[in-house]
Amino acid sequence: MKPISLRPANIPLPYFDFLLEQLNRGEPMVQQAFGRHVHWGYWPYPKQADGSVEDFAIASERLCQRVIAAAGVKEGDRVLDVGCGFGGTIASLNEQFHTVNLTGLNIDSRQLARARQTIKPLNQNQIEFVEADACQMPFADASIDVVLAVECIFHFPSRVAFFQEARRVLRPGGRLGLCDFVSTPFFQTFQNVTAQLGVKLANPVYGRVDSSFTLADYKTLACETGFSLRLQEDITRNTLPTYPVVCHVFEQMNYSKAVKATATAGLLSRLGLLRYQILSFAI
C-alpha cells in the first residue's frame, strides 16, 4: 500500500498521526487493532474477554454492527457514515448488504486516502468517500436515508450543528445512529467547574474531545432538532475490556501519552462517570 503522508491543515490529530505512522510502517499489532475500525469494542460477556488484540478486533466489529442495527440500515438505503475513519463501518456495510449506496465523510484527507485504497464496492453497492465537515455537509436536503456517527461526535465542533445538518440531509423517516461517551450530570458539573477554573482535564492525544454532554442533553437536542429517540442502550460495562488492550498496544509502541489518556478514560468509565451509549433517532 502507498504510504499516506498528507496532514490536514489546522486540525490537531495526534492520535491519527501516530496510527498512520505505524500503519505506514506495517506495524502488525496496530494493523490488527486499528487497521479497520478505530473505535472501542463490545463484549456481550465482558468477563470472557481474553485481553488479546485478536479478541479486541472482533469486539470492534461487534460494536460497529450494533450501531448499524440500532439505525435500522436495510437494502436500498443511502447511508452516510460521518467521521468514517479508515472506512471500517463502510467496509462492514459493504460486506453485509448488496444494494446500498455508501458515503464515508471525514475532515482528514489521510484517513480518506487509506479508506479509498482498501475498500472497493461489492455486489451492487456504491461507495464514495468525501472530505468535508460533519457540521457543514455538502449534500442536498432530504437525500440520505441513514446517518451514522460511530464514536466520533465528541470530536465535532458542535453536536447541535451536527444534529441540525443530519436533520437537513435525512429524508422523511430517516434515521440517525450513533455511539458516544455520555457524561453523568455529576461529572458534567465537575467538568464545568474545572473549566471555569482554567483546568483542562482532557489529554491532547485524542484531539478535541467534548465529553460534557449528558443523556438529558441528547433528549433535549433531539426534540429541538425534530428527532425522536428510538433507542438508548447503555453498554458501558460491555466496552470496559477495551481499555487494557488499547493501553497494551500503546505501551508496546512506547506511546506513553496515549497510555495515560486511555487509562484515565477507563477509570472514568469504571467509576460510572462516563457512560458509553448507543443512541438511535428518527424523523
Position 91 pLDDT exceeds 70: yes
Q: Which three cell numbers stand for residue 32?
A: 490488527
For position 231, what pLDDT does the model report? 98
Average pLDDT over residues 244-263: 96
Per-residue pLDDT tens over the stretch 46-78: 999 999 999 999 999 999 999 999 999 999 999
Q: Is the dihedral of CA 138, 141, 142, 143 positive or negative?
A: negative
- When pLDDT is averaged across residues 106-133 and rounded to a whole number, the result is 97
**Residue at grid coordinates 462517570:** 273
Could you give the count of Cα atoms lying within 13 Å of 65 in the half-sphere of its Cβ?
A: 14
CA dist 201 and 214 (Å) reads 17
Mean pLDDT to the nearest integer, 255-271: 95
Q: 0.75 exceeded by the pTM? A: yes
Mean pLDDT, residues 38-52 taken together: 98
What distances in angstroms separate CA 94 from CA 119, 216, 247, one per listed residue?
Answer: 9, 34, 30
∠ CA 205-268-202, rounded to 5°? 30
Q: Name the burial class of residue 182, with classes exposed (0-12), middle (13-18) and buried (19+) by CB atoms within 10 angstroms of its CB.
A: buried
What pLDDT does residue 48 have? 97
Q: Per-residue confidence at 6, pLDDT binned at 50, 70, 90?
A: very low
- Residue 204's pLDDT is what? 77
Per the prediction, the chain carries an average pLDDT of: 94
**Residues in contact with 283: Cβ distance below 8 Å, sequence separation at least 6, in sequence order:** 167, 170, 171, 172, 173, 174, 175, 226, 227, 228
Catalogue all structural domains in the chain, each as residue range(s) with its CATH number.
17-282 (3.40.50.150)
| Strand arrangement of the beta sheet that strand 144-150 belongs to | 126-131, 101-106, 78-82, 144-150, 170-183, 274-282, 228-234
pLDDT in the model for residue 208: 85
Residue 105 pairs with which residues in a beta bridge?
A: 82, 130
pLDDT of residue 203: 61
**How many Cβ atoms from other residues are within 10 Å of residue 200's Cβ?**
8
Q: Residue 135: its pLDDT value, please?
A: 97
pLDDT at 43 over 80: yes
Over 70: is that where the pLDDT of 166 sits?
yes
- What pLDDT is attached to residue 217? 98
